[in-house]
Amino acid sequence: MTGMRLLGVVRLSRDTDETTSPERQREAITAYAERKGHRIIGWAEDLDISGKIEPKKRPGLGPWLTKPDKLAQWDALIVHKHDRMGRNLRDFLNFIHDLDNLGRAFISIEPELDMSTDIGRMTATHFFNAAEYELKQIEKRVKDSHRYIKANSGYPGGQVPFGYRPVKNGKGWTYEPDPEYAPVVREMVNRVLAGTSMRQVALWLNAEGIPTSRNVVRRRQGKPEQSSRWTTQAVKEVLISPSIVGMHTKDGRPLRDGDGTTVQRCDGVINRRTWELVKRAVAGAPHRAHRVDANPLLQVAFCGLCESPLYAHTSPPTKNNTYRYYRCAKRHSTGECSLRSVPADWLEGEAGAKFLMGFGEMERGHWDIEPAEDHVRELAEIQQLIDELDAEYRTGGLNAKAYARQINAFEARREALEALPVKPERRTWVGTGETYGERWVKLSVAERVKEWRETGFTFYVLPEPGGGFEVAGWGSRWPESIKPH
CA distance 47 to 10: 8
pLDDT band at residue 154 using 50, 70 and 90 as cut-offs: very low
What's the distance, Cα to Cα, between the start and end of the chain in Å?
96
Give the residue from 265, 225, 261, 233 showing the smallest Cα distance to 249: 265
Backbone phi, then psi, for 316, in 5-degree steps? -60, 145
Cβ density class 456-469: b for 16+ within 10 Å, e for less: bbbbbbebeeeeeb
Residue-level pLDDT at 89: 59
**pLDDT higher than 80, residue 480:** no
**58-94 residue pLDDT tens:** 889 999 998 999 999 999 999 887 666 655 556 777 7
Q: What is the DSSP letter of 294?
A: T
pLDDT band at residue 172 using 50, 70 and 90 as cut-offs: low
Q: Which CATH number fits domain 154-289: 3.90.1750.20, 3.30.300.30, 3.10.129.10, 3.40.190.10?
A: 3.90.1750.20
**24-64 residue pLDDT tens:** 889 999 999 999 899 999 999 988 776 667 888 888 999 99
Residue, of 186 and 154, whose pLDDT is higher: 186
The architecture that CATH gives domain 5-138 is 3-Layer(aba) Sandwich (3.40)
CA distance 283 to 353: 33
Least confident of 83-92, 105-114, 266-275, 399-408: 83-92
**Model confidence pTM above 0.85:** no
Contact 297, 458 (CB under 8 A): no
